[in-house]
């Protein structure tokens, strides 16, 4: 059983600020650091650091060499990553003294997918292989359709949430891993238990993981609903905490762990990530978890 992560690769420009800048205001940052990131790549690296082999597919520009080097360093298979003329995607991230963040994305090469490339990538996989997706690439709908035809197990982290998610046939998704804001945007429900009930009603064949930040996480598969608390830490930077949770969740699943243990593993890994700066550098190795 193989795992493919088809998703974004970004260069994260991280500005450390006292507080997130307000509209119309200009502030200075204390520090500017460049980190590898992108929700897709973060989740691939989380899988790799958890000890699970993963292929990454997506596009980088001529300036994407640093990201390729990080992939190799962390053990992510880069053979399906394509180099295009458009510059690599990037993110402008403000991280405040309290560890909160705010992100502006430049899509760049992440939006250079086409049907030919998607078919070529998915041609390497077969029924029962896992596909992990987020929402920072174009052609998400097409990737889901083609992967579903091939009977791959589709795991969707609908982040960042926008119309492209709602345009896709979400009935083809096997696992949703989402936060309560994304849950609200899909179901129109606010309370976590109601989001889960509505997801179950709309997608009875799917399984749902609903993360609630410091309030923990739920798992629901129509047979059981399990709650997992967080491991309390002092946050430094919450960037990629969700990606770490997602990568570790999938890693636990692939290893055949029971869901309670998978949730515990994911929550622990995410709690470590928020105590460190940056996206990919903050993701812990399995032995640390």
200 vs 278, which CB is nearer to ligand RIB?
278
Tell me which of 137, 265, 279, 289 binds ligand RIB, using CB under 6 A: 279
Tell me which of 4, 6, 12, 203 binds ligand RIB, using CB under 6 A: 12
Adjacent-strand bridge partners of 4: 55, 131
91 vs 289, which CB is nearer to ligand RIB?
91
Closest alpha carbon to 19 in 107, 97, 76: 97
Tell me which of 15, 133, 243, 245 binds ligand RIB, using CB under 6 A: 243
129 vs 183, which CB is nearer to ligand RIB?
183
Interacting residues with ligand RIB between 74 and 103 (CB under 6 A): 91, 103
Q: Which two tokens stand for residue 119?
A: 């078919």
> 36-75 mask for ligand RIB (x: CB under 6 A)?
-xxx--x---------------------------------
- Tell the smallest beta-carbon distance from residue 108 to ligand RIB (Å): 11
CA distances from residue 286 to 182, 233, 240 in whole angstroms, order as listed: 28, 18, 16
Among residues 145, 167, 243, 261, which one is catalytic? Answer: 243
Interacting residues with ligand RIB between 116 and 175 (CB under 6 A): 136
Q: Is 197 a catalytic residue?
A: no
Tell me which of 47, 122, 173, 240 binds ligand RIB, using CB under 6 A: 240
DSSP 138-188: S-HHHHHHHHHHTTPEEEE---S-SHHHHHS-GGG-SEEEEEHHHHHHHHS
Expressed in angstroms, the distance from the first to the final Cα of the chain is 24
- Tell the smallest beta-carbon distance from residue 155 to ligand RIB (Å): 16
Closest-approach residue to ligand RIB (CB): 37
- Tell the smallest beta-carbon distance from residue 134 to ligand RIB (Å): 8
Q: Which of 21-29, 35-43, 71-79, 254-262 is the region at the interface with ligand RIB (rule: CB under 6 A)? A: 35-43
- Tell the smallest beta-carbon distance from residue 137 to ligand RIB (Å): 11
Write the Ramachandran bin of 211: left for phi over 0, alpha for psi from -120 to 50, otherwise beta. beta
Q: How many residues bind ligand RIB (CB under 6 A)?
A: 14
CA distances from residue 217 to 104, 192, 201, 244, 257 in whole angstroms, order as listed: 26, 9, 20, 14, 17
Q: Which residue has the tokens 């770490």?
A: 244
Adjacent-strand bridge partners of 34: 13
Q: What CA–CA distance (Å, rounded) separates 261 from 146?
A: 32
CA distances from residue 266 to 43, 174, 286 in whole angstroms, order as listed: 12, 18, 11
- Residue length, the chain? 289
Q: Which residues are catalytic?
A: 243
Residues in touch with ligand RIB (CB under 6 A): 8, 10, 12, 37-39, 42, 91, 103, 136, 239-240, 243, 279
């Amino acid at each position: 059983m193989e795992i493919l992560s088809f998703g974004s690769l970004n260069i994260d420009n991280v500005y450390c600020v006292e507080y997130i800048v307000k509209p119309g205001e200009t502030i200075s940052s204390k520090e500017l650091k460049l980190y590898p990131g992108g929700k897709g790549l973060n989740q691939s690296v989380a899988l790799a650091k958890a000890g699970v082999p993963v292929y990454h597919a997506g596009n980088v520009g001529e300036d994407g060499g640093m990201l390729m080097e990080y992939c190799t360093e962390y053990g992510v298979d880069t053979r399906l990553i394509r180099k295009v003329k458009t510059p690599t995607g990037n993110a402008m991230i403000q991280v405040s003294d309290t560890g909160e963040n705010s992100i502006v994305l430049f899509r760049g090469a992440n939006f250079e997918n086409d049907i030919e490339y998607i078919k070529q990538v998915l041609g390497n996989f077969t029924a029962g292989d896992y596909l992990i997706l987020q929402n920072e690439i174009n052609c998400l709908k097409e990737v889901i359709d083609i992967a579903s035809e091939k009977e791959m197990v589709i795991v969707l982290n609908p982040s960042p949430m926008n119309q492209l998610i709602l345009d896709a046939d979400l009935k083809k998704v096997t696992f949703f891993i989402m936060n309560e804001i994304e849950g609200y945007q899909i179901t129109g429900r606010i309370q976590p238990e109601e989001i889960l009930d509505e997801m179950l009603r709309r997608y009875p064949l799917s399984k749902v993981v609903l993360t609630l930040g410091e309030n923990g996480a739920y798992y629901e598969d129509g047979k059981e609903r399990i709650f997992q608390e967080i491991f309390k830490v002092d946050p430094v930077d919450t960037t990629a905490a969700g990606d770490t949770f997602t990568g570790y969740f999938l890693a636990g699943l692939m290893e055949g762990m029971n869901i309670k243990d998978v949730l515990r593993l994911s929550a622990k890994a995410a709690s470590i990530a928020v105590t460190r700066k940056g996206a990919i550098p903050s993701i812990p190795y399995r032995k640390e978890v």
